[in-house]
Amino acid sequence: MHVAGEEYVFQFDTTTWSWVHLLLGVVILVAGLSLFTGTVWARTVGVIMAVIAMLVAFAWLPWYPIFAILLIAVSAAVVWALTVHGLDMVGD
């Protein structure tokens, strides 16, 4: 007897996917700690990750509308804070 399973567009190996998450987490942690020094690359990484989070939340909007709207709002606030107030930390 053959049972047909779901066919997904993307096939991920869970081991590879967990390594990707671990490496991204380390990069985000280092960038987050580097934000205290006011480095431009850390602000750039923060803005890029916040924009990616907004896009992912927008994709989840039909299924989890409250959570998605909240995540979009928080990500927009992060982008605003990193771009507007970034020069406040740069020394004279």
Helix (H, G, I), strand (E, B) or coil at 10: coil
Q: Is residue 7 included in any domain, yes or no?
A: no
Q: Is residue 1 included in any domain, yes or no?
A: no
Q: State the residue range of the domain holding 26.
A: 14-88
Q: What is the 8-class DSSP label of residue 8? A: P
Q: Is the distance from CB of 82 to CB of 47 less than 8 angstroms?
A: yes
Q: Is residue 18 included in any domain, yes or no?
A: yes
pTM score, whole prediction: 0.76
Nearest CA among 89, 92, 77 for reference residue 46? 77
Q: What is the pLDDT of residues 30-83, one digit of tens each?
A: 999 999 998 999 999 999 999 999 999 999 899 899 999 999 999 999 999 999
